[in-house]
Structure 1
């Protein structure tokens, strides 16, 4: 359990990436992030990456702690990061280009 903080940090990063990819799979969010250039939006690839990122973050939470705590931590990550992505999309959407340049 000495590396549990590392697993939790990786879980937060993959959860953030997964939620961002799921948001970018939607047309309005894609347009707000890529407003000055118009690359093709690979919606199916973004959805697949998004769900894979969320699944990986859940697995990393389970590797970090016992199952009852891992479910709670994963749900709290979702609850904290989903509004964060929404706020980034509202105020600085160009910051999310890092996830799909």
Structure 2
């Protein structure tokens, strides 16, 4: 069970960083055409922050607070690096994170 919670925390961390990155105009343009609407930007920021918080909760459920916070900070670093490398080499791989959003422009 602990391994599944940690795996879920990693997946949520990567998705959260991806959503936070896609809330920026420059990264959105790399993945989709046009610009996101202000409501879409707010939604992506909310999703990103919420998923990172839930990943922290999952880490806390697996281990005591000092170890869980260390694991979570390392998870954030790995997730940020992963998203940065995906944006540098294959930004279209992040498209499934916003597949359900309409292609709106500001």
- In structure 2, the partner of 1:45 is 43
Unaligned runs of 5+ in 2: 100-106
- In the alignment, does 2:71 pair up with 1:73? yes
Deviations 1:46-75 (A, max 9, x none): 000000010000000001111111001000
Distance 1:15 1:92 in 2: 19
Moved over 4 A (4+): none
- Does the 8 A contact of 2:59 with 2:68 survive in 1? yes
- In structure 2, the partner of 1:83 is 81
Unaligned runs of 5+ in 1: none
Distance 2:56 2:31 in 1: 27
Q: TM-score, normalised by structure 1?
A: 0.91
How many corresponding residue pairs? 97
